[in-house]
Amino acid sequence: MNSKLKVGVLFGGRSAEHEVSLVSAASIINALDKTKYDVLPIGISKEGRWLSAVNAIQLLKEHSGLENFPEHVLLPDPRKQSLVNISGAFPQNAEKVDVIFPVIHGTFGEDGTIQGLFELADIPYVGAGVLGSAVGMDKVISKQLLERADIPVTKGIWFLYSDFVKRPKHYLLDVEKKIKYPCFVKPPNQGSSVGISKAHNKKELIAAIHLAGEYDRKILIEKAVSRPREIEMSVMGNDEPIASLPGEIVPSNEFYDYDAKYVDGKSVAEIPAKLSPQLIKKIQACALKAYSVLDCSGLARVDFLLQKNGKFFLNEINTIPGFTSISMYPKLWEASGVSYSELLDKLIGYAFERYNDKKKLKTFYSPKTDWYKQS
C-alpha cells in the first residue's frame, strides 16, 4: 500500500502574477520530500483551464498546445475529494488528493476564491482560509481592520474608480488636501506592484489613478513614507503562530516595483535585517497581531515600512508570498533555523491541523420537531 501523501501543487492561474507563480511552484515541487509525498502538479492556464501533467509548468511557460492535454476539474462534492478528467465524453480518472498546496499569487488564488473551492471539496490546503485570504488581499479592508486594532498603517483614502470618472476634481482635491504629494496609488487587490505608481504631482496622480483603475474597481491612495527601509517578516502557524527574523529589501528603483522585484536582478536582500533586538521584538509582535486580526492561518509574509526615526508602518500582508528558493519567505525561515523542505513539511502539517480542527465543528443542527415539513 502507498502510504505517501498525495500533494496537489496548484500554480499559474488567472492572475497578473501568473509567471511568478510558475517559478515559485517549480521550487516547491523540486523540494518536496519524495519519500513522504507523491507530488501532483496541477497547472491553471491564464484562461482558467486546469491541467494535471508532470511537465505542467513547462507547458504553461510555453503557453501553447495546452488543448492537447486532458482538462481536469476539482469537484465541489466532498464525497469525491478528487481531481477529475473531463476531456472525454464521460468524466474519468478521479485522482484522489490528500492535500493541496496552492501557489497562485494574486487574483483567483490568494484572494479566497480558490480556497472556497477547497472548502467545498473538503480537502485540506496550505495557507489562509477564505476570509483570511480575502481580507489579506484587499489593501483597503485590511487597512481598516489593522487601524481598528491599533496597528500602525500609512494614512490612506479610497474611492471607487467609477466615482472618480464622474467627479475627478472632487477626488483630486481630496487627495491633495488629505494625502498630498508624493503619494502611492494602488489597485487594492493586486500584488507584485502591478498597477502601483508613485505620484509626485497632479498629472502623475491622474495617470496613476487611470492605471490602477485598469486592475480594480477601488483605488487606494496612500501617503508616501519618505525613504523607508523595507522590512519583511515570515509568519507561520494557526492559532499559535510564530514569527521569523526580519529581512530587509533594498530596492533597485525609486520603489520596489515589478522590475526591481523580478526583472533587473539588482535589488538586494539583507537577511537578517540589521535592526536592534528591541525593534525586532516590536515588529515581530506587530506581525503576529496582524496575522490573527486578519484571520490568517498556515503562512503569511508581513511587510513593513520603517522610517529613520524608528517608527514603522505595516504596509501589507501576503498570504501566498513568493516561494522560490531565493524568495524572502523561505529565506527568513532558513535564517531562523528551518530549512526549505522542512518548512514545506510544517506548512502541510498546519493544513491538516486546521482541517482537523474545523472537522470538530458541527455543520448540522437537529431540530426537536420536523417543523419545516409543515411550513
> How is the chain split among helix, strand and coil, in percent rounded to 5?
35, 25, 40
Grid cell listed for 219 = 483605488
Size of the site for ligand ADP (CB under 6 A): 20
Applying the rule CB under 6 A, the residues between 267 and 326 that interact with ligand ADP are 303, 305, 315-316
Residues 185 and 199: beta-carbon distance below 8 Å: yes
Q: How far is the CB of 299 from ligand ADP (least distance, A)?
A: 16
Binding part of the chain for ligand ADP, among 29-37, 126-134, 222-230, 320-328 by CB under 6 A, reads 222-230
Among 98, 216, 222, 334, binds ligand ADP (CB under 6 A): 222
Among 192, 234, 244, 297, binds ligand ADP (CB under 6 A): 192
Q: Does 191 bind ligand ADP (CB under 6 A)?
A: yes
Peptide bond into 182 cis (omega under 30): yes
3-state secondary structure of 235: strand
Applying the rule CB under 6 A, the residues between 115 and 134 that interact with ligand ADP are none
Residue closer to ligand ADP by CB (options 154, 238) is: 154
Q: Does 327 bind ligand ADP (CB under 6 A)?
A: no
DSSP secondary structure of 303-353: EEEE-TTS-EEEEEEESS---STTSHHHHHHHHTT--HHHHHHHHHHHHHH
- Vertex 313 angle, CA 311 and 314, to 5°: 145
Q: How far is the CB of 180 from ligand ADP (least distance, A)?
A: 12
Q: How far is the CB of 267 from ligand ADP (least distance, A)?
A: 10
**Residues 114, 139: Cα–Cα separation, whole Å:** 19
Binding part of the chain for ligand ADP, among 249-257, 281-289, 319-327, 366-374 by CB under 6 A, reads 249-257
Residue closer to ligand ADP by CB (options 66, 140) is: 140
Q: Does 153 bind ligand ADP (CB under 6 A)?
A: no
Residue closer to ligand ADP by CB (options 251, 349) is: 251
Q: Does 193 bind ligand ADP (CB under 6 A)?
A: yes
Among 108, 181, 255, 352, binds ligand ADP (CB under 6 A): 255
Q: How far is the CB of 249 from ligand ADP (least distance, A)?
A: 7
Among 98, 230, 248, 334, binds ligand ADP (CB under 6 A): 230
Q: How far is the CB of 219 from ligand ADP (least distance, A)?
A: 13
Whole-number Cα distances in Å, 209 to 22, 35, 255: 29, 50, 18
Question: Which spans in the chain are helix H?
Answer: 18-31, 56-62, 113-121, 130-137, 139-148, 161-166, 168-178, 202-213, 258, 277-293, 328-335, 340-359, 371-374
3-state secondary structure of 43: strand
Applying the rule CB under 6 A, the residues between 171 and 190 that interact with ligand ADP are 184, 186, 190
Q: Does 256 bind ligand ADP (CB under 6 A)?
A: yes
Residue closest to 221 by CA, chosen among 203, 255, 198: 198
Q: Are strands 183-186 and 197-199 parallel, antiparallel or unpaired?
A: antiparallel
Q: Does 329 bind ligand ADP (CB under 6 A)?
A: no
Residue closer to ligand ADP by CB (options 262, 352) is: 262
Instruction: Report CA dihedral (247, 251, 252, 257) to the nearest 10 degrees.
Output: 130
Grid cell listed for 126 = 496550505
Residue closer to ligand ADP by CB (options 256, 291) is: 256
Please list, in sequence order, all residues whose beta carbon lies within 8 angstroms of the beta carbon of residue 304, skipping any fewer than 6 positions away.
230, 231, 232, 233, 246, 283, 286, 287, 312, 313, 314, 315
Binding mask 195-214 for ligand ADP (x = CB under 6 A): -x------------------
Residues at the site binding ligand ADP, with contacts judged by CB under 6 A? 154, 184, 186, 190-193, 196, 222, 224-225, 228, 230, 251, 255-256, 303, 305, 315-316
